[in-house]
Amino acid sequence: MDAFPLVYHYLSAWVIAPITQQFLGIFNVNGRFGMLFLCASYSVAYGLFRYRKRRGLTDARSFWQFIGGSRVNLHRSALLDYRYYFVRAILKIALVLPIVHLVDPYILRSGDYATFFSNLWGARPRLGEDFALALVYGLGVFLVKDFVHYWVHRAFHSRWLWAFHKVHHSASVLVPATASRVHFVEKVAEKLGVVACLGLFAGCFLYVCGGEISRYTLFGVTYLVFIFNSLAANLRHTHVWLSFGPALEHVLNSPAQHQIHHSDAPRHFNCNFGINLSLWDWVFGTLYVTRSQPEPLRFGIGGQDHHRYLTVYGLIVTPFVETARKCLYALKATDSGSSTPLRDIND
What pLDDT, in 10s, does the model give residues 138-163? Answer: 889 899 999 999 999 999 999 899 99
Number of domains in the chain: 1
Give the Cα separation of 344 and 328 in Å (integer): 16
Residue 158 within any structural domain of the chain: yes
Q: What is the CA radius of gyration of the chain?
A: 22
Would you say 225 and 142 are in contact if contact means Cβ atoms under 8 Å apart?
Answer: yes
Beta bridge partners of 252: 277
- Per-residue pLDDT tens for 251-303? 999 999 999 999 999 999 999 999 999 999 999 999 999 999 999 999 999 77
What does the pLDDT read at residue 347?
A: 37
Q: Decide which of 198 and 332 is more confident.
A: 198
Q: Is residue 287 within 8 Å of residue 248, measured between CB atoms?
A: no
Residue 201 φ/ψ, nearest 5 degrees: -65, -50
- The reported pLDDT for the residue numbered 216 is 57
Q: Is residue 288 part of a domain?
A: yes
In a domain, 53, yes or no: yes
Q: Is the pLDDT of residue 6 over 80?
A: no
pLDDT (tens digit per residue) in 74-119: 999 999 999 999 999 999 999 998 999 999 888 888 888 888 888 8
Task: Confirm if 19 and 86 have CB atoms less than 8 A apart.
Answer: yes
Please calculate the CA angle 323-78-185 and round it to the nearest 5 degrees. 30
pTM for the whole structure: 0.89
Q: Residue 98's domain spans which residues?
A: 3-335
Q: What whole-number distance in Å separates Cα of residue 266 and Cα of residue 244? A: 23
Q: How many CA atoms lie within 13 A of 334 on its CB side?
A: 6
Q: Do the domain assignments include residue 254?
A: yes
Q: How far apart are CA 90 and CA 95, in angstroms?
A: 8
pLDDT over 90 for what percent of the chain? Answer: 59
Task: Look at residue 345 and tell me if it is in a domain.
Answer: no
Residue 344 belongs to some domain of the structure: no
- Residue 145 falls inside a structural domain: yes
C-alpha span between 4 and 107 (Å, rounded): 39
